[in-house]
Chains A and B, each alone.
Chain A
């Protein structure tokens, strides 16, 4: 029996709207979109024009810095529009889907015989490569690197997060196949981290040659970065890869069916009538999953979870990596004397509101910042929700003053912004910590590229 790593630090944000454990099958959406903005630092180069016909698995655009990395269409159909944002940056490539999807055919070797040299070109060509993220930086992995190890976190502890044990059960054989493929990409170990609380009926167990780890604790223990820190921390110069469990499934399915079939499960959570799991496809429009939105509703739609997700418009599309859509109310209303009110219904990590009387209450939180931005005043707070041997304030200050040596010494390679999301949440000074961390990572990346 493996030892369970118990992480004491962290915070569970108990929100209303947990997904019910039911799968709803959604019809194939009429259009889907791929968003180059989902990929950090990507400069996309288009290979299609409006009106072009594509198959599922045909390239739409590629990475300017590495033309091997292509991004392919999830459906067959016609390129409806290429939407550009500020400074003509491409934000969405929208494809109108055929009624019957036809797939680009690939020649895939059997999993047992596949070699790294066969797998990588196939993953690149099929557009599945971008699912693999590299640490440090959490950017697209470089196919020429041989990662030290590969890490998969098989659970998500973020607020309202989908339950992967429930979700992957649907695609268990694909997951096992996907892991077998990924194992061939590294010379080191492949690690899968399981949540101790749900280990009993886990579909992730008993895959050969995988090193399993058991964790227990509050969010952010489900973040793969936190797990890496406790399993085998990243040193300067190390490269490891990470991938989400559902994306492993997509890779496994590709090697089974030899087509790019990006159907996946998304949890619809938060401020909705029927929070549940929906079977749809990558890049699906929000309206196909969440139809309650009206002109008058004062809600924010988030692709991902409330801590790290991306705000999307009602006519927007699901993010590339996301398995969750969260709806919360906008907090655009002032509150009278809020700093002195008893606050029975206010969620706080501190016990400065009387809501501590009901520890198990489910909250309906909105997007108000609850106060203005201030300089760092309180200390020792971030440490309580950052289960890493890292000094958060010192690291953030090193980033603010752009001290590269200091950032390295304080462990910037071990973190990405999602690990600091809870610090940002609890910060009484309302400092935008996640952007700061990303700013630091960008500085370091630029310095060494």
Chain B
């Protein structure tokens, strides 16, 4: 600690005004504040401030993502060993998954932070911590075998077009991580769907055991299989199995259990909005119930039970980590209820009614991201009208 402090104290003058590397100061400071919470004191307004800051808030989100990440790593490894018919211990599986997921994380952070630092240099203000979360979300919502260059391109696109074009963290319209996923989905659909991308090495591994399939549960349903299974047709999944999440899917989305641990951390610390999380689940649940009641016989997706719907696919992950992004969500408390409810409802609607595309969560959230200012507009309008009414009552 002393060593770093001394190093900073020694090198800082070169970056300050008049110094040799004056223009690099914002980048330098971004690193400095990583090590030390600066000694800035309050000048105006309240003399004391809450200990929380943006770094702390973002780190809490990352901590909340860890259960899903760790489970995802194990799941990737476990399914891999299953696909080649080898026995493996929990540590073997985890370690295999760790080695496969790590490059995704490195690329996501490397590209994203690279772009961020360019903008720090151009704009001349300190780095925004928002990407710390985005950079962790992106690897968790892609298939494990996505080529790294595609991931890099998508990340760059998301940060540039999704965020920095609007002015950086806090100004973006849609969730950058989801935008990266949407970019991949529409630009490289063959790497984002189908039945080979979800299991590590499935596409070109000669040692795959017979009868192994790598479809996601939603993929199975779209293909007319009513009872979901994992990897082998006779390995049927109960609702509890689906809750635990040992089946094919994006890296971090399969385990509702791990996601709910994250949700608990987010809600307990007060970082994420309970209103949004709760109403997404409610919206999805009610929509699924509605579809159950009107489903024609034999329509598997419409007949899928509401509980199953919220357990499978990216529903839980989207509800807990994506929909709650405060920048792109509705900002008013009433608006959050509406926003969340519509996300849940639309996700199930897209899933069930659009046969070409079984996963509706991504599009539902992106759609509502775009509409959230409109929702807020009407909520705020109601407040304004109430105030006007009060004034008019008085004057008449």
Contact = CB atoms under 8 A, between A and B. Distances in A.
Interface of A: 13, 159, 233, 235-237, 300, 302, 306-309, 311, 326, 328, 330-340, 343, 346-353, 355, 365-372, 374-381, 383, 389-391, 393-394, 409-411, 417, 421, 424-430, 432-435
B10 to A, nearest CB: 15
A318 B294 CA distance: 73
Contact of B332 (A338, A350, A391, A432): A391
Contacts of A421: 45-46
Interface string B107-144: 00000000000000000001011100000000000000
A393 B332 CA distance: 9
A185 B393 CA distance: 25
A410 B39 CA distance: 36
Contact of A331 (B39, B59, B384, B387): B39
B387 A370 contact: no
A376 B56 CA distance: 15
Contacts of B129: 374
Nearest to B270: A350
Contacts of B49: 368-370, 424-425, 427, 430
Contacts of A326: 47
Given A159-B48, A306-B46, A391-B380, 17 more contacts: A13-B48, A332-B39, A332-B41, A335-B36, A347-B51, A349-B50, A350-B57, A353-B56, A367-B47, A369-B38, A370-B52, A377-B327, A380-B326, A390-B383, A394-B380, A417-B45, A435-B45
Contacts of A236: 391
Interface residues of B, number: 60
Interface core residue of A300, A311, A348, A411 (most chain B CB under 10 Å): A348
Contacts of A306: 46-48
A396 B40 CA distance: 24
A429 B76 CA distance: 37
Interface in B332-348: 332-333, 336
Given A370-B37, A372-B38, A343 B51 contact: yes
A411 B387 CA distance: 8
A369 B59 CA distance: 18
B44 interface: yes
Interface of B: 1, 4-5, 33, 35-42, 44-57, 59-60, 126, 128-130, 167-171, 268-271, 273, 275, 326-327, 329, 331-333, 336, 376, 380, 383-384, 386-388, 390-391, 394
B46 A339 contact: no
Nearest to A383: B333
A235 B383 contact: no
Contact of A428 (B38, B41, B52): B52
B394 A235 contact: yes
Contacts of B336: 380
Contacts of A365: 48
A396 B60 CA distance: 27
